[in-house]
Structure 1
Amino acid sequence: MTQLTEPSSLLSVSTEQLRLFTKIAVLYHEEGLSQGDISQRLNLSQARVSRYLKNAVDLGIVRTSIVQPAGIYVGLEKALEEKYQLREVVVVDVMDGASLGMRLGSSAATYLETTIEANDYVGISSWSTTLLHTVEAMRSRPRKIANEVIQLIGGVGSPQAQMQASRLVSHLAELTSAKPYYMGCPGLVANQQIREAFLGDPAVAASVEAWERLTTLLVGIGTFPASPLWQASGNALSSAEEGELSRAGAVGEICLRFFDINGVPMKPAIEERVISIDAEAMMQVPRRVGVAGGMGKLDAIRGAVTGGWINVLITDADVARQLLERPQL
């Protein structure tokens, strides 16, 4: 029998060789025999069995077929990764009876548990119900899986909401056996002088300094105009500040740093009152994970991925599909 190692097409192979390639493929792929078993059974060397299995693939005798289970969107994820040059996309299927926030949080928790490393310095924004669901869904590990957990923005909202921000940082640090860094100050203060006074506090200054060590960001993506929940928190923008942002075309924010539909950062007057990591520092962090979903946040999410505010996106299937379409102006 003529030895064939690199067949170019079915027409270039004899019927006898095709029969042998097919038989070996059936024994290996359908009957589950090892290459060693096949070599003994057919009196062939194991190297030749391996080569003939490759021939079967090259000729199309063996074809790999992946059947994606319902609710799995690998193709959609890949398309988004390519369109927006993202490191990774996780698309979540929303099931009846399950809240979107809880589904996003569960998926984000799984992603973090499998990707955070012991030498990671993780920054987390505090004003996000979805991030709260994320941390609540994470499992405690017996070993250290992060180095530091650092709050990215002062507490935003009522005193109770500011306490919740500290608890979020504390709980994530406990789950990852990391050292926590807190922002013991409001995220939005009355004026620039008060902001400078808080930044001069040694504890706050230590957290700001820790931002330089960040390797991973975990952030929510806020909308503009702000949600009713945020407006009711006691930290609503003034009408003049809202007017400025609206005229500039703001669609969203991360840590109260605003951007337009193309992700272009803005420098509104409100920045003089904000105590949080700034846009430039955020962009320097190697991995920036945004967790957000719901059609009401579509423009904000589009701006965040277009402008490079995040390079890992965890969102729902409806938003993911719309992100592949051209924005409706």
Structure 2
Amino acid sequence: MVTIAINYQFNESLLLEQRLKQRFGLKEAIVSPIDSQQPLQAQLNSMGQQCAEFLNGIIKDGDVIGFSWGSALAAVVDQMAEDCGKRTVTCVPMVGGPSGKLESRYHVNTLVYSAAVKMRAESQLIDFPAILEQKMIRDGIMESQHYRTISAYWNQLDIAVFGIGSPNITGHSTWRAFYGNEAMEHFNTALVAGDICSRFYDATGNEVKTYFSDKTMNITLDKIKRAPYAIGVAHSYEKLSGILGAINGGYINCLVTTKETAEKLLAQSE
């Protein structure tokens, strides 16, 4: 009548989380036990659910929560519980929009607004693209009241949630679609290991200047670094360099990933 079973996958994930925290000095590590042979969307949903549950436990009244764009963040927001309670928090974008380069469901404004609706919270949306055509246009927008309002929230971040990109990503990913294939050669020449909110860095975590740098509307890495919770949501072998670079730079203090990626991170760090 009574059956007792041991969830070995849960235990293995717990051990990996402890090892990640100890090895990299993370505040929190969350490892999804999902099999890497599962479809990509299933892996994203699994990480998204665990990240959403983690967020629900740490959000407190008065928090400012920053979001980036992309499929990993879309999975986090999708997995947030509907009507998860009134929260007196403000959700804000940390980077401009993709200028029609991505599906609207991955747009930062879509994710910020959807998260705010689920929490019955306030949201601030961004009215300019991430990458402008000229530095002069970027500088002009930075003088606007709208930009000053958004950037003021960046100085007050309590929680930052973001995906991590890498030039090693192949295929038809949203990350490559955002920057275009022509940018990949430039990133490789500049020794870019990864990016967070269109801020690029090398394998040691030092910020790398690219030809986008003077034309980009986004939060700076040092402001993400100052957030009490800087949560990177990423997985796959292709993103290892981006994840390790972000850890080395201190840009993340919480990591949400999969079992296979966690094992490879630990092995590569040795």
SS of alignment partner, residue 310 of structure 1: coil
Q: Partners of 2:206 and 2:21 in 1: how far apart? A: 20
The question of 1:229 aligning with 2:173 is answered yes
The letter for the 1-side match of 2:180 is A
Check whether the contact 1:100–1:294 (CA below 8 A) recurs between aligned residues: no
Which stretch of structure 1 is more off in the superposition, 67-76 or 105-114? Answer: 67-76
Q: How far does residue 260 in structure 1 lie from its aligned partner after superposition? A: 1.3
Give the match for residue 22 of structure 1.
none
SS of alignment partner, residue 168 of structure 1: helix
Q: Partners of 1:231 and 1:279 in 2: how far apart? A: 18
Q: How far does residue 175 in structure 1 lie from its aligned partner after superposition? A: 1.5
Give the match for residue 255 of structure 2.
313
What are the ranges of 5 or more consecutive residues in structure 2 without an aligned counterpart?
none
Which portions of structure 1, spanning 4 or more consecutive aligned residues, are displaced by more than 6 angstroms? none
Q: Partners of 2:239 and 2:6 in 1: how far apart? A: 27
Give the match for residue 136 of structure 2.
193
Q: Partners of 1:325 and 1:259 in 2: how far apart? A: 22
The sequence identity of aligned pairs, in percent, is 23
The letter for the 1-side match of 2:120 is S
Q: How far does residue 261 in structure 1 lie from its aligned partner after superposition? A: 1.6
The question of 1:70 aligning with 2:8 is answered yes
Q: Deviations over 1:250-293 (max 9, x none)?
A: 11100011111222221223210111001122111111001111
Q: Partners of 2:192 and 2:155 in 1: how far apart? A: 27
Give the match for residue 107 of structure 1.
50
The letter for the 1-side match of 2:110 is R
The letter for the 2-side match of 1:296 is E
Which stretch of structure 1 is more off in the superposition, 80-89 or 149-158? Answer: 149-158
Check whether the contact 2:83–2:119 (CA below 8 A) recurs between aligned residues: yes
**TM-score normalised per structure 2:** 0.87
Please, what is the CA RMSD of the aligned residues? 2.3
Give the match for residue 278 of structure 1.
220
Q: Deviations over 1:104-161 (max 9, x none)?
A: 11111111112211222100002x1011111111113463335110100001251664
Check whether the contact 2:71–2:174 (CA below 8 A) recurs between aligned residues: no
Q: How far does residue 192 in structure 1 lie from its aligned partner after superposition? A: 0.5
Check whether the contact 1:155–1:162 (CA below 8 A) recurs between aligned residues: no
Which of these residues, 182, 204, 213, is aligned with residue 147 of structure 2? Answer: 204
Count of residue pairs brought into register by the alignment: 259
Q: Partners of 1:234 and 1:74 in 2: how far apart? A: 35
Q: How far does residue 199 in structure 1 lie from its aligned partner after superposition? A: 2.1
Give the match for residue 120 of structure 1.
63
Q: How far does residue 327 in structure 1 lie from its aligned partner after superposition? A: 5.0
SS of alignment partner, residue 29 of structure 2: strand
Which of these residues, 8, 16, 29, is aligned with residue 89 of structure 1? Answer: 29
Give the match for residue 10 of structure 1.
none
Which of these residues, 245, 249, 257, is aligned with residue 303 of structure 1? Answer: 245
Q: How far does residue 83 in structure 1 lie from its aligned partner after superposition? A: 0.8
What are the ranges of 5 or more consecutive residues in structure 1 without an aligned counterpart?
1-66
Check whether the contact 1:121–1:216 (CA below 8 A) recurs between aligned residues: yes
Check whether the contact 2:66–2:92 (CA below 8 A) recurs between aligned residues: yes
Q: 1:296 to 1:234 in 2, by over 3 A?
A: closer
Which of these residues, 148, 153, 157, is aligned with residue 214 of structure 1? Answer: 157
